[in-house]
Structure 1
Amino acid sequence: MNLGRRLPDASRETALVVGLVSGSHVINHLYLVLFPPVLTTLAADFEVGLSALGFAMGLQAFVNTALQLPYGYLSDNYDRTLTLGLCLGLGAVGAAILALAPTFEWLLVGQVVLGVGIAGHHPAHFPLLSDATAEDVRGQAYSVHGFAGNLGFAAPPVVILGVTALSGTSWRHAFGLIAAVGAIYGVAACYVLWRHVDDEVTRPNLGEAAGDDDRASASSRIERALAELRALARAPSILALGVVALIASTAFWGITSYVAVLLEDGYGVAPDLASLTLTAMFVAGAGLILVGGTLADRFRPGPILAGAYVLVGLAVLLLASMTVPPLLAVPVAVLAGSAGSLGGPARDKLADVLSTRTDIGRNFAVLTIGIMVGNTVAPPLFGALIESTGYSEAFGLVGAVALLAAVATVGIVARYREEIALGPSASSGD
């Protein structure tokens, strides 16, 4: 279908898919940042330190990471609506367990279940977006998706503060409210996709050799799983992009997890303002994602992505210097946490042009593995560093990691410039 050069000119079905998938992104990102706004409260309630809570956040990310390829396989070979439904349903169950957790051990159980749910969102989202949009506006579709995700990141501090301001409520009520909203949305989104979106979008792009008989055979499923791994090994450009995502995500989650406590304990910012700085970061990032989507459709994505990481690194290093006046520390923190969003659509566009249509779920799963490995490593690593060496050293390392992501991006774009220029036809397939 011909959508023209502007996403608002898209068909009703395209608008529906972009809207539903973006809404799912909001819900999943709500789940990802439940802890950072209430870290000090959780530490007091469960009588644990920042390193233990960092382990809990990292555990969720580890489970998320481990299930990326299985969800990618499910999305590429079976059904994207099913993938999305599992993602949203299990995520809601995990958030509900967190809301009810009587002990720290149950908090860990909730994080595991939450990780199982969240793991499916990128492997379901990106194939749906890719098949529902034309290539010349796909960067804009990815930017709308990213914009929605940043709104999801921004919402927990506002929701938690709003709910806990009511008499007789706590963070548990806020978590429970978020779980209920996620469950209701999951049911509604899957129903609409099932009834109102064409199977060409919700079903996988299987090659001619992959028919229903193949999918029904257990031995064939094993062979296809092995073929997926062999194909992945033949796609070094995607693996390299996954490494960039890992490096950048380590910096991003270092900022996201601990910037509120840095502002509160290191700069003397009031606790409520420090928590709301997270919201400001993601709101600003949401706007930058939209700008980044337009840039990704008009210019080469590599320089956009590298430039965004440089901005993040410089802003974090400025914060780490501990020389910024407290009044300016908040806007600098907002820049540090939002500038990377400018490169999000460019990164997704790179992954898209390095993919064929039959492997896009798997390839975005690889990208998400990189993101989630960073999420796994960053909270326990930087939490332990803060407790052992202090905020300046820990955030200095965060800034250095962000700059490393910029250098790695430049190297990868240079190495695979011909493949990027030729697009999907030059990419490795199954």
Structure 2
Amino acid sequence: MRSLRRSAAEVPRGTALVVGLVSGSHAVNHMYLVLLPPVLPTLAREFEVSLAALGVAMGAQAFVNTVCQLPYGYLADERDRTLTLGLCLTLGSIGALILALAPTFEWLLVGQVVVGLGVAGHHPAHFPLLADATAERNRARAFSVHGFAGNLGFAAPPVLITAIAAHPALTWRHAFGLIGGVGLLYAAVAVVTLLRGVDPEIRRSNADADVDAPPGREPRSVGDRLRAGIRSIASAPGILGLGLFALVASTVMWGVTSFVVVLLTEGYGLDSGTANLALSSAFVVGAGLILIGGDLADRVGPGPVLVGSYLLVAAFVFALASFAVPPLVAAVCAVCAGSVGSLSLPARDKLADALSARGDVGKNFAVITVGIMIGNAVAPPVFGALIESSGLSPAFAAIAAVALLAVALVGTIVRRVDGAGVGAKGAGTGGD
């Protein structure tokens, strides 16, 4: 599989530009994913709906996001990465603007669906661009920078929304509108810069890397390519396993980030400003931990990093669920619970890259993102309903239990990957 990639000497110049543009896109798309959690209590009052209903709205975005992953993966791998990136940024921005103007809960749902249609394309577009723009020896670092920017995107909305809504003449709607407008501007800048400043060898798809076609054969039809892509995914147990791990891990992290503000305000009595600051701090700390996680994955291998990060998540979430800690300590635990899972992201991405042929990078990362988005879709309505039916403590204890399930699952996956000849340490050697 590795023979299909360019060697380090063949990688075109422009790495820094591509990493910068793609990382900026990651930040913008992640801002769209967490627009609602900082204002859930406000939205519940304004639209006269329950937390469970708002969980359904967040789940609707995640459902659409999930359904669109593989089509975007096909578009990026077989057609045009620049189109994929520009389309996802534009649709996500339009969705944010719809949310800003939503007069009813039904329009809020529409805005979330459009956001889902947009952000679905960012991973399938980003990872092929990063893979072809970076040398093997630097790829893990590029993934870390990409992840760092994504966490900054997660951190921005709580701070921006709180700061803007603090002005007597402004509300959350103005904050959403500002974020959507900036996203539209960035979409235009990113597409123009990619077209004018980046080598076409990086921008165009890898559809020409068709090693299965006999010499002289005409290019395969869309149907042939779709069937070949499905066969490739179905025959890659390592990728499918990582997709399952991503589902479980995402359920944990979205459970924490969706309701930790509610836990800190209603359970621990903290004011909303402090609670939102804790949520933003979790994303900022997580951004730094992504960079540390990339270095750790290079040094000790992905397996220990994946296992250790989710053991720590489980410990901090159990502490929150116990209500045995003082409010300010709970805020610190919330920061840790929402951030230490980020240590695992470069390790997961290195394994996925190591297991991918050059023409399958977009589709394989789409599979992993499908797992992430299913977890995103499941966590808000399930844990929102559990909070309303059983209370905050049982709901967060359940989140911690799912974190332990992620530990058991990733341990099994890493052992099987080792047995297949792509070691937990060796995968990093090939995929960084």
Question: What TM bracket, shorter-length normalisation?
Answer: over 0.9
Q: Does 1:420 align with 2:426?
A: no
Q: Is the 8 A contact 2:136 2:430 kept in 1?
A: no
**2:37 maps to amino acid:** P
Distance (Å, rounded) in 1 between the aligned partners of 2:41 and 2:427: 47
Q: Which amino acid aligns with 1:340?
A: G
Aligned partners of 2:385 and 2:216: how far apart in 1? 50
Among all aligned residue pairs of Structure 1 and Structure 2, give the percentage whose two residues are the same amino acid: 61
Secondary structure of 1:355's counterpart equals: coil
CA distance in 2, matches of 1:27, 1:3: 30
Structure 2 distance, partners of 1:93, 1:202, is 25
Alignment-derived partner of residue 319 in structure 1? 320
Is the alpha carbon distance of 1:34 and 1:210 closer, same or farther for their aligned partners in structure 2, counting shifts above 3 Å? Answer: farther
Match of 1:123 in 2: 124
1:373 equivalenced with 2:387 (yes/no)? no
Q: Distance in 2 between matches of 1:124 and 1:357?
A: 14
Aligned equivalent of 2:396: 395
Partner in structure 1 of residue 336 of structure 2: 335
Structure 1 regions of 5+ residues with no counterpart?
A: 5-9
Q: Residue 302 of structure 2 contacts residue 428 of structure 2 at CA under 8 Å; is this kept in 1?
A: no
* Normalised TM-score (structure 2): 0.93
Residue 96 of structure 1, CA deviation? 0.6
SS in 2 for 1:416: helix
1:176-216 C-alpha deviation (Å, 9 max, x unpaired): 0000000000100011011111111111122244999966x
Q: What amino acid is the match of 1:229?
A: I
Deviation, 1:307, is 0.7
Compute the displacement of 1:298 (Å): 2.5
TM-score of the pair, normalised by structure 1: 0.94
- Counterpart CA distance in 1 for 2:214 and 2:193 is 27
What letter matches 2:422 in structure 1? I
C-alpha separation between the residues in 1 aligned to 2:291 and 2:198? 25
What corresponds to 1:7 in structure 2?
none
Letter in 2 for 1:342: L
**Match status 1:46 vs 2:47:** yes
Counterpart CA distance in 1 for 2:155 and 2:35 is 10
| Alignment RMSD | 2.2
Aligned length: 419
Distance in 2 between residues matched to 1:222 and 1:375, nearest whole Å: 30
| 2:111 alignment counterpart | 110
In structure 2, distance between residues paired with 1:62 and 1:151 = 24
The 5 A counterparts of 1:192-271 are 192-206=193-207, 207-208=209-210, 209=213, 220-271=221-272
* Bigger mean CA offset, 206-215 vs 270-279: 206-215
Deviation at 1:423, TM superposition (A): 5.1
For 1:145-184, list aligned pairs within 5 A. Answer: 145-184=146-185
Q: CA deviation at 1:78?
A: 0.6
Cα distance in 2 for residues equivalent to 1:112 and 1:316: 30
* Structure 1 CA distance for aligned equivalents of residues 215 and 94 of structure 2: 34
Describe the shift of the 1:94–1:234 C-alpha distance in structure 2 as closer, same or farther (beyond 3 A).
same
Cα deviation, 1:297-351, whole Å, max 9, x if unaligned, reads: 2221111111101110111011111111112000011110000001110110011
Q: 1:166, CA displacement in angstroms? A: 2.2
What 5-or-longer segments of structure 2 have no aligned partner? 1-5
228-237 or 203-212, larger mean C-alpha shift: 203-212
Give the letter for the 1:326 counterpart. Answer: P
Residue in 2 aligned with 1:408?
409
Closer, same or farther: CA 212–143 of 1 in aligned 2, 3 Å:
farther
Q: How does 1:353-372 map to 2 (within 5 A)?
A: 353-372=354-373
Contact 1:3/1:11, CA 8 A, preserved across alignment? no
Query: Equivalents in 2 of 1:243, 1:387: separation in Å?
Result: 28
Whole-Å Cα distance in 1 between the matches of residues 178 and 217 of structure 2?
Answer: 44
Give the letter for the 1:80 counterpart. Answer: R
Q: Residues 256, 211 of structure 1: CA spacing in aligned structure 2 closer, same or farther, 3 A cutoff?
A: farther
The alpha carbon displacement at 1:425 in A equals: 12
- The equivalences for 1:339-354 within 5 A come to 339-354=340-355
Which aligned segments of 4 or more residues in structure 1 are displaced greater than 4 angstroms?
1-4, 210-215, 422-427
Query: 2:422 is paired with a residue of what secondary structure?
Result: helix
Between the aligned partners of 2:296 and 2:316, the Cα distance in structure 1 is 22
Q: Is the 8 A contact 1:95 1:179 kept in 2?
A: yes
Secondary structure of the residue aligned to 1:358 is helix
Distance, in Å, in 2 between the alignment partners of 1:184 and 1:214 is 40
Q: Deviations over 1:120-157 (max 9, x none)?
A: 00000111111111112111111100100000000001
Give the partner amino acid of 1:195: R
Deviation of 1:11 after TM superposition, in Å, equals 8.2
